Amino acid sequence: MRITAQTVVFDAADLEAESSFWARMLGGQVRAETDWHTVVVAGAAPVAVQSAPDHRPPQWPQGLPQQIHLDLDVEDITSAHTEVIGLGAEVLQMATGDQRFNVYADPAGHPFCLCWH
């Protein structure tokens, strides 16, 4: 099998809120179609958002299960944390002990982690 492209796709009831969040988060641009928005980031695989009017956010860590999450490595967790909160992310869990990641939810409730080394 030869895979020619890969795209991470998020379901969301609010296409604009979800695609705008990821465009600002990743430094990309939104290409909007009726039921599908593509976030284009120079030199990277696109991220897409598809219309899912009945989307229900996963409940992390228990409850309605997540289907996917992103781990994003950052250089400065303090400034990255401040920025994602300003973009509309919600804190789900802050790192404790030896953990080197914080868990957040995007506007549609999809979990993602900011990780540092």
Contact partners, residue 4, CB within 8 Å, separation at least 6: none
The dihedral sign for the CA sequence 58, 61, 64, 66: positive
> Considering the chain, what is the average pLDDT of its residues?
91
Residue 67, pLDDT score: 74
pLDDT of 84 above 70: yes
Residue 3: pLDDT band by 50, 70, 90 thresholds? low
Average pLDDT over residues 63-91: 90
Using one digit for the tens of pLDDT, what is the confidence trace for 20-73? 999 999 999 999 999 999 999 998 888 999 999 999 988 888 888 777 778 898
Backbone CA torsion sign across 112, 7, 49, 19? positive
Residue 46: per-residue pLDDT: 86
Give, rounded to a whole angstrom, the gap between the first and last alpha carbons of the chain. 35
The residues near 27 (Cβ < 8 Å, ≥ 6 apart) are 41
